[in-house]
Amino acid sequence: MTHRRTTQVTRAPQTPGLPPVPQARVADVQRLVIDWFSRNARPLPWREPDASAWSILVCEVMSQQTPVARVLPRWREWMRRWPSPADLAAAPPSDVLIAWDSLGYPRRALRLQETAAAIADRHGNQVPHEEDRLLALPGVGAYTAAAVASFAYGRRAVVLDVNVRRVLGRVFAAVEHRPASLTAAEKRWAGALVPAREHVEWNAGAMELGALICTARNPDCDSCPLADACAWVAAGKPSDPTVVRRTQAWAGTDRQLRGAIMKVLRTAHDELATSDEEQAVSISTHLLTAPTAELTADDAEALARLSEPIRKAIAAVRDLDADGTRTARLIDDLVRDGLASRSSTGIRLP
DNA sequence: TGTCCACGTCT
DNA sequence: AAGACGTGGAC
């Protein structure tokens, strides 16, 4: 501990629920996080010094909503195939969606390709440095723009994801969670905590701490470098009764069924793309949407000609919607949103 | 086995 | 500005 006066506070604006923080505490916490990160950072490829800004942007978009372990193999494949934005912009969307695999939220893949085209066309194939220009790219919001500015270009940015918000909230405000929506006031408050130097290490370290130690459910405070400095620990780790954990409905939702339809299209395209014929990669809409009772012997033969993975993917769709009416409607939506396209013989990836 | 969880962007 | 958006692994 420093022996500076602990009554000295930052110039952070007064923010409801977010206390002013003594400067000395801030300096201690910054040092602890940065030192911890230097010893405990996972050796991820996008953290290598030679990682391109493009590779970092791709990683950040993939990592939205998705754990590192699932991102890693797809990110490697993407970087091998599309090492620059222009490479991705030139790829067929079907290849992009297949390479996205089951990362989830396939719209992110399409937006990433739109972003690649924008960078190739308007930014000389170079990922922009400025947060406001990054923010203008499709699929890039406040978090991703700040993360790229910080991690790819070393700019002093306020990187606030749910991990950082949770760590800062616990350490400085003794609260278990932050409310769902990120306000401008909270961003200003957090911005006052970003050090003038080593801000990249601070940003990355706070995220890493939130991901590995200061987790939402079972924080490993025994291993935490901030345990002695943590207001939440000092307060006895109070749980916040106002926090309602949202449990998204999943079973029976359109999202679930859409995912199953997309899996059919990916599987079919991947396995059947041996010729240029539309027919080869299309799946008869009828096989997906006909009520089970109306499937004919011809339909059964058509199914039998397909490979087992495709049949299983189709069966998954039919299990979720034996009636076929929802499937038909969702296929319309997918086509409208550019995730699928119609051909003379059925439905396929765009 | 299922239930819970992750949590940024867009509209 | 609350809700939609996908998936698989942890518990």
Quick: pLDDT tens for A206-221: 999 988 889 887 888 9
pLDDT of residue A178: 64
> Cβ(A349)–Cβ(A261) under 8 Å?
no
Q: Which nucleotide is nearest to A106 (CA to C1')?
A: C6
B8 C1': nearest CA residue: A64
**Is residue A223 a contact partner of residue A209, using CB atoms and an 8 Å limit?**
no
Please say if the pLDDT value at position A41 is more than 50: yes
- Mean pLDDT (whole number) for A293-309: 89
What would the pLDDT profile of A71-85 be if each residue is shown by its tens digit?
998 999 999 999 999
Which residues lie below 8 Å from residue A30, measured CB to CB, with a gap of 6+? A193, A195, A198, A202
Per-residue confidence (pLDDT) for residue A201, from 0 to 100: 95
Instruction: Check residue A179 and give its pLDDT.
Output: 60
Render pLDDT for A276-294 as a digit per residue (tens, 0 to 9).
566 677 888 999 999 988 8
Span A53-80, average pLDDT? 91
Q: Which residue is nearest to nucleotide C3 (CA to C1')?
A: A248
A228-272 confidence digits (pLDDT tens): 999 999 998 887 665 555 556 777 888 899 999 999 999 998 877
Residue with tokens 């490979």: A307
Higher pLDDT, A4 or A159: A159
The confidence score (pLDDT) of residue A159 equals 93
pLDDT number for residue A247 = 56
Q: Identify protein residues whose C-beta is within 7 angstroms of any atom in strand C.
A: A 65-67, 69-70, 102-107, 181, 218, 248, 250, 253-256, 258-260, 262-263, 333
Mean pLDDT of chain A: 86
Q: Tell if A71 CB is < 7 Å from nucleic strand B.
A: no
Proximity of residue A150 CB to strand B below 7 A: no
A161 touches strand B (CB under 7 A): yes
Top pLDDT among A76 and A67 is at A76
Whether A342 sits with its Cβ under 7 A from any strand B atom: the answer reads no
**pLDDT digits over A153-205, tens only?**
999 999 998 889 889 989 998 887 666 678 888 888 899 999 999 999 999 99
**CB within 7 A of strand B (chain A, 251-310):** 251
Nearest-CA residue relative to C1' of B4: A247
Which nucleotides of chain C does any protein CB come within 7 A of? 2, 4-9, 11
Residue nearest to nucleotide B5 (CA to C1'): A247
The pair of three-digit structure tokens given for residue A340, joined into one six-digit string: 């699928």
Looking at the C1' of nucleotide B10, which residue has the nearest alpha carbon? A139
Q: Measure A310 CA to B5 C1' (Å).
A: 29
Q: What is the pLDDT of residues A102-120, one digit of tens each?
A: 888 999 999 999 999 999 9
The predicted pLDDT at position A132 comes to 93
Q: Which nt is closest to the CA of A256, judged by C1'?
A: C6
Give the pLDDT of residue A278. Answer: 63
Summarize pLDDT for A6-22 with one digit per residue, the tens.
223 333 344 556 778 87
Q: Is A143's CB less than 7 Å from nucleic acid strand B?
A: yes
Nucleotides of B under 7 A from a protein CB: 3-10
- Catalytic residue ranges of A: 60
Enumerate the domain spans of chain A.
Answer: 52-151, 254-348
Q: How confident is the model at residue A6, as a pLDDT? A: 28
> CATH second-level architecture of A52-151?
Orthogonal Bundle (1.10)
**Interatomic distance A233 CA / C2 C1' (Å):** 32
Q: What is the pLDDT of residue A225?
A: 94
Of A17-26, A58-67, A100-109, the range with the lowest mean pLDDT is A17-26
